[in-house]
């Protein structure tokens, strides 16, 4: 079993590294976007699959990461030093909030730190009071509503419904250049590799086992002397950080971010990616994100009206029929095959042994 | 002799219903104390108060070395050295037997400590020792949820032992066990008592008779009497409580 | 003079707030009933509102094409029971086909019902188109009641009365009829009720239909407040979720208080600043409130470990 999982990871990353060789540039760009989502999906797998906390608000962390990087890109793309949309609202001086984002290193670190801080504060104040299950999920969803209305409402600072777009350079290098796009693709693959390695290490560590124990019986964990609050806040922050990284990488490659991309619907879709792949498996989260999004782009290219029916059906299907996702499906099929082979071998052995026994 | 645990005038009010009406109890070093009494006497509630699951409305719980513990959070009480086995086996079903024990080992319990924790030979030896004690050596890599009921009970006892507590609270440890298993559990409890004090809630009178020295009888949220099983059985009040007033008149 | 004007504004805001509260209450009650009964959080509840609103819209269309002109004004009264029946039926079908497999899996139930929600919205989009449609308010709801210098719009007054009637009906049903008492019994102790011969499966389906039907009625009320679109339910459902959290999940009395509190705070903060700030303030207040009472206004102590 261990070998199977190892070789499937190897196959996946070999495929990802070779993809630019045989895929059209346009497809590679799409794949790069999906890989950002895969990084985020690993975070959701850790908090939902392993720890049993369903967050319906990861779009916010993704969005915050993306906005942090986008603010830097936007400033670099504004020759006057003031983003165009601010000019339209009649702002002549750059708001204080924006000033530090002229520094790319600040912006990149903020893309991780800001989501983590938000997760830290919200996580601490909810988990400390033992708010969990549906309560927490609903609160995390309300968080999305708050941020989306805030980002749309404060148009003069955030760019409103349109979000931040129209930027083309980072560190003075053009982002639309083919070579740069490819480098960005490989950087994303690298980040995904790091993310997966980190997640595997975490889940194999004793802390990872405790996360599972929290999922199985949070109160039992307390009576073993652990404080579940700190572990839950920790895993919430980790997954927020991964979402922030994903958002930052996303904006570099896609070139835009808007409140719509962090809303309620994308947030809950993120959970679906993990559910499709298999919520208890890091590998499942990665392939779930890639496959679900591939299906989405296929449908929206060919049958845009049909996509929502498909998506809705997928939610129901994944919950009712395959709670362990594609990985679970693969596993049970694999087990059936091996048990059949074993059975056959046994029968063969019995056949051979037959005469001697009688 | 100084007690390990002292409960002073514990009262618990469940929305107007007093489950405990002022309980006083001392548990001493290396003692196995049995708590018996009819249903609704408040035995489990008393254990709940000691381990922090239920907050007392009144009174104090004092634990040797930690002082007053009744205001502390559950995990702090557990870290102070009080382990609790619940009535229904509460183990982590999707983790293996080994992992269940690994998480319960006495260790630093912060996030950082667990991230950096290594499965060294010392920990392994401890787990092996406990596995042998609870007779689950051959099940170490099975998911705990797949175990038989009695085995789950033992695993949970093992999870408490490996915490190396000073006081062990056992709530009906032999419920659902076969005769042989019961006896084994009884000896196990006495074995445990060499290293820590044990407070056992038990319904099975034969078991109590065979394995108890000191017994505390509870009734309707209060302590009725204390003593050896023989003494307690002589006590008129106890007889009355167990057999009912009607019977006594006859 | 100035003081008088301020008083009038306060009074009319208070009235608007109460009317909005009552509307939210109608939505939240449906959620509270189903969660209390079967631990299923119905994310598609918002779409029952949407369906109710589209039913009202359709009734209006039918009346304007097939009924005599003088009857048109009464279409709204007809649409209310129709919306209730239609959404209740959809709820019943939903329970029989999907929800019954999700009992005591609250997190999974959220995902699956979200899928249902997407499908229902896409169906609405296919039938009625993506743009919003407007429902014409019947003429007898135009204008308002003048009390001193304050005008109370008839529309909002109507919503208050409608919710009042629904609440009374619900109260009578739950506490005065055998079917309602069975439902209360199952909510309190499913196993015990089942042992006493209550058909819990039937009760569940009925309760789900009832909850959905209340959502449908809320949809009718919604058409008086604004335009109708396929995703209109989502806007209100989150507020309803917050009410349920504030009140204590599955608790009807708590739901009532929660609805009044959230409705009033939203309305007043929105009036004082903006809708954006109102959302942020309400969210912050809820998180603060939960520091004090983590399990909502009304919660019970239990002896179970998990």
Tens of pLDDT, residues C27-37? 999 888 888 88
B215/B226 Cα distance (integer angstroms): 6
A345-A348-A350-A353 Cα dihedral, nearest 10 degrees: -120
- pLDDT, residue C160, reads 92
A172: left (phi over 0), alpha (psi -120 to 50) or beta: left
Q: Considering only A311-320, B212-221, C87-96, C267-276, which range has the smallest mean pLDDT? A: C267-276
Q: Where are the extended beta strands (E) located within chain A?
A: 169-170, 173-174
Whether the pLDDT of residue A354 is over 50: the answer is: no
> Which DSSP symbol is given to C133?
B
Whether the pLDDT of residue A355 is over 70: the answer is: no
- pLDDT, residue B138, reads 93
A208-A213-A218-A224 Cα dihedral, nearest 10 degrees: -100
Instruction: Name the residue ranges covered by the structural domains of chain B.
Output: 3-243
CA angle B32, B34, B38 (to 5 degrees): 175
A50/A205 Cα distance (integer angstroms): 13
State the pLDDT confidence band at B9, using cuts at 50, 70 and 90: very high
Give the chain C residue nearest B12 (alpha carbons).
C301
Q: What share of chain C is helix, strand, coil (3-state, %, to 5)?
A: 80, 5, 20
User: Tokens 């346009």 appear where?
Assistant: A26
For residue range B153-184, list pLDDT tens digits in order. 899 999 999 999 999 999 988 888 888 888 88
Q: If DSSP codes are grouped into helix, strand and coil, which group holds residue A182?
A: helix
Whether the pLDDT of residue B248 is over 50: the answer is: no
CB C102 within 8 A of CB C108: yes
Whether the pLDDT of residue A82 is over 80: the answer is: yes
How many CA atoms within 13 Å lie on the side-chain side of A204? 9
Provide φ and ψ at C150, rounded to 5°: -100, 135
- Whether chain B has a CB inside 8 Å of the CB on C301: the answer is yes
Q: What is the DSSP string of A325-336?
A: HHHHHHHHHHHH
Cβ neighbours of C304 in B, within 8 Å = none
How many CA atoms within 13 Å lie on the side-chain side of A70? 27
- Whether chain A has a CB inside 8 Å of the CB on C121: the answer is yes
Q: Where are the extended beta strands (E) located within B86-193?
A: 167-171
Whether the pLDDT of residue A175 is over 90: the answer is: no
- pLDDT, residue B176, reads 81
Residues 6+ apart with CB under 8 A from A4: A334
Instruction: Name the residue ranges covered by the structural domains of chain A.
Output: 27-262
Share of chain A above pLDDT 90, in %: 65
Cβ neighbours of B53 in C, within 8 Å = 305
Which residue in B182, B226, B221 sits closest to B203, CA to CA? B182
For residue range B23-41, list pLDDT tens digits in order. 999 999 888 999 998 888 8
How many C-beta atoms lie closer than 10 Å to residue B193's C-beta? 18
- pLDDT, residue C299, reads 63
- pLDDT, residue C69, reads 76
List alpha helices for C98-199, DSSP H.
106-128, 154-176, 178-188, 190-195
Are A227 and B75 an interchain contact pair (Cβ–Cβ within 8 Å)?
A: yes
- Whether chain B has a CB inside 8 Å of the CB on C300: the answer is yes
User: Tokens 């630093």 appear where?
Assistant: B108
Cβ neighbours of A207 in B, within 8 Å = 111, 114-115, 117
User: Tokens 């505390």 appear where?
Assistant: B216
Share of chain A above pLDDT 70, in %: 96
For residue range A259-278, list pLDDT tens digits in order. 999 999 999 999 999 999 99
How many C-beta atoms lie closer than 10 Å to residue A344's C-beta? 10
A67/A152 Cα distance (integer angstroms): 13
- pLDDT, residue B243, reads 66
> Pairing between strand B32-36 and A173-174?
unpaired
Measure Cα distances from B172 to A47, A304, B26 in Å: 35, 61, 20
- pLDDT, residue C302, reads 46
Q: What is the CA radius of gyration of chain A?
A: 23
Give bridge partners of residue A15 from the DSSP assignment. Answer: none
For residue range A231-268, list pLDDT tens digits in order. 999 999 999 999 999 999 999 999 999 999 999 999 99
Domain B3-243 sits in which CATH superfamily? P-loop containing nucleotide triphosphate hydrolases (3.40.50.300)
Residue range C16-292 in CATH 1.20.1050: no
- pLDDT, residue B249, reads 36
Cβ neighbours of A206 in B, within 8 Å = 102-103, 114-115, 117, 119
Partner residue opposite C115 with nearest CB, options A145, A149, A316: A316
Are A125 and C41 an interchain contact pair (Cβ–Cβ within 8 Å)?
A: no
User: What are the pLDDT tens digits along chain C (306 aa)?
Assistant: 455 677 888 888 899 899 999 999 999 998 888 888 888 889 999 999 999 999 999 999 988 888 777 777 788 889 999 999 999 999 999 999 999 898 888 899 999 999 999 999 999 999 999 899 988 888 888 888 888 778 888 888 999 999 999 999 998 998 889 988 898 888 888 888 888 888 888 899 999 999 999 999 999 999 998 899 999 988 889 889 999 888 876 677 888 999 999 999 988 888 888 888 888 888 999 889 888 888 777 665 444 444
Whether the pLDDT of residue A339 is over 90: the answer is: no
| pTM for this entry | 0.92
């Amino acid at each position: 079993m261990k070998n199977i999982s190892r070789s499937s990871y190897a196959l996946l990353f070999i495929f990802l590294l070779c993809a630019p060789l045989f895929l059209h540039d346009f497809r590679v760009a799409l794949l790069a976007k999906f890989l950002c989502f895969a990084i985020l999906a690993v975070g959701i797998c850790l908090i939902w699959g392993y720890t049993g906390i369903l967050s319906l608000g990861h779009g916010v962390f993704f969005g915050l990461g993306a906005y942090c990087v986008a603010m830097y890109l936007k400033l670099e793309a504004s020759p006057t030093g003031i983003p165009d949309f601010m000019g339209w609202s009649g702002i002549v001086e750059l708001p204080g909030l924006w000033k530090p984002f002229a520094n790319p290193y600040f912006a990149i670190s903020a893309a991780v730190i800001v989501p983590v801080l938000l997760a830290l504060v919200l996580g601490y104040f909810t988990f400390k009071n033992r708010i969990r299950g549906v309560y927490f999920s609903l609160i995390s969803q309300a968080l999305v509503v708050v941020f989306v209305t805030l980002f749309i409402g404060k148009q003069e600072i955030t760019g409103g419904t349109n979000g931040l777009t129209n930027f083309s350079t980072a560190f003075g290098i053009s982002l639309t250049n083919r070579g740069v796009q490819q480098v960005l693709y490989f950087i994303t693959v690298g980040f995904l590799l790091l993310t997966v390695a980190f997640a595997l290490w975490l889940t194999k560590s004793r802390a990872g086992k405790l996360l599972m124990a929290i999922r199985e019986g949070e109160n039992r964990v307390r009576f073993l002397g652990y404080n579940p609050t700190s572990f839950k806040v920790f895993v919430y922050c980790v997954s927020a950080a991964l979402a922030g990284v994903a958002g930052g990488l996303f904006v570099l490659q896609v070139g835009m971010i808007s409140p719509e991309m962090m809303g309620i619907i994308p947030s809950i879709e993120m959970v679906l990616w993990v559910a499709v792949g298999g919520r208890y498996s890091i590998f499942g989260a990665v392939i779930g994100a890639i496959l679900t999004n591939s299906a989405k782009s296929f449908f929206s290219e060919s049958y845009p009206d049909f996509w929502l029916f498909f998506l809705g059906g997928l939610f129901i299907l994944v919950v009712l029929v395959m709670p362990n996702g594609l990985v679970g499906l693969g596993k049970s099929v694999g087990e059936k095959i091996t048990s059949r082979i074993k059975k056959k071998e046994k029968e063969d052995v019995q056949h051979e042994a037959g005469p001697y026994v009688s | 002799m100084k007690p390990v645990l002292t409960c002073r005038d514990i009262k618990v009010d469940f929305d107007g219903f007093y489950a405990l009406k002022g309980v006083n109890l001392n548990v001493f070093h290396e003692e196995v104390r049995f708590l018996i009494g009819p249903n609704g006497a408040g035995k489990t509630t008393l254990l709940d108060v000691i381990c922090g699951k239920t907050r007392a409305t009144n009174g104090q719980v004092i634990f040797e070395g930690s002082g007053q513990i009744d205001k502390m959070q559950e995990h702090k009480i557990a870290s102070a050295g009080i382990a609790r086995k619940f009535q229904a086996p509460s183990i982590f079903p999707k983790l293996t037997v080994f992992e269940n024990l690994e998480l319960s080992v006495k260790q630093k319990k912060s996030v950082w400590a667990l991230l950096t924790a290594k499965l060294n030979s010392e920990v392994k030896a401890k787990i092996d020792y406990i596995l042998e004690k609870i007779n689950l050596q051959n099940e170490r890599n099975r998911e705990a949820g797949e175990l038989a009921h009695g085995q789950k009970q033992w695993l949970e006892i093992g999870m408490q032992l490996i915490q190396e507590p000073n006081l062990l609270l056992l709530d009906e440890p032999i419920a659902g066990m076969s005769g042989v298993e019961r006896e084994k559990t009884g000896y196990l409890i006495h074995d445990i008592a060499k290293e820590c004090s044990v407070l056992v809630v038990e319904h099975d009178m034969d078991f109590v008779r065979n394995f108890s020295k000191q017994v505390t009888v509870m009734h309707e949220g209060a302590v009725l009497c204390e003593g050896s099983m023989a003494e307690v059985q002589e006590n008129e009040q106890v007889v009355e409580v167990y057999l009912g007033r009607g019977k006594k008149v006859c | 003079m100035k003081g008088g004007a301020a008083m009038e504004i306060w009074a009319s805001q208070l009235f608007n707030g109460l009317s909005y509260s009552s509307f939210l209450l109608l939505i939240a009650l449906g959620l509270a009933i189903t969660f209390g009964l079967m631990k299923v959080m119905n994310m598609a509840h918002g779409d029952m509102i949407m369906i109710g609103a589209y039913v009202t819209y359709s009734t209006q269309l039918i009346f304007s094409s097939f009924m005599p002109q003088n009857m048109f004004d009464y279409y709204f009264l007809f649409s209310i029971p129709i919306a209730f029946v239609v959404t209740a039926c959809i709820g019943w079908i939903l329970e029989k086909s999907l929800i019954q497999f999700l009992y005591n899996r609250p997190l999974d139930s959220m995902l699956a019902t979200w899928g249902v929600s997407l499908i229902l919205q896409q169906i609405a989009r296919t039938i009625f188109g993506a743009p919003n449609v407007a429902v014409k308010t019947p003429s007898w709801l135009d204008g308002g009641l003048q009390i001193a210098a304050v005008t109370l719009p008839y529309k909002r007054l109507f919503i208050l009365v409608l919710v009042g009637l629904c609440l009374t009906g619900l109260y009578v049903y739950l506490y005065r009829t055998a079917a309602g008492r069975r439902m209360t019994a199952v909510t309190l102790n499913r196993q015990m009720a089942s042992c006493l011969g209550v058909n819990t499966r039937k009760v569940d389906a009925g309760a789900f239909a009832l909850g959905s039907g209340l959502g449908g009625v809320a949809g009718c009320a919604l058409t008086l407040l604004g335009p109708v679109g396929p995703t209109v339910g989502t806007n209100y459902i989150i507020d309803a979720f917050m009410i349920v959290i504030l009140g204590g999940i599955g608790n009807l009395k708590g739901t009532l208080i929660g609805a009044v509190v959230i409705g009033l705070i939203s309305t007043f903060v929105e009036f004082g600043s903006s809708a954006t700030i109102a959302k942020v303030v309400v969210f912050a207040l809820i998180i603060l409130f939960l520091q004090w009472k983590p399990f909502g206004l009304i919660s019970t102590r239990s002896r179970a470990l998990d």
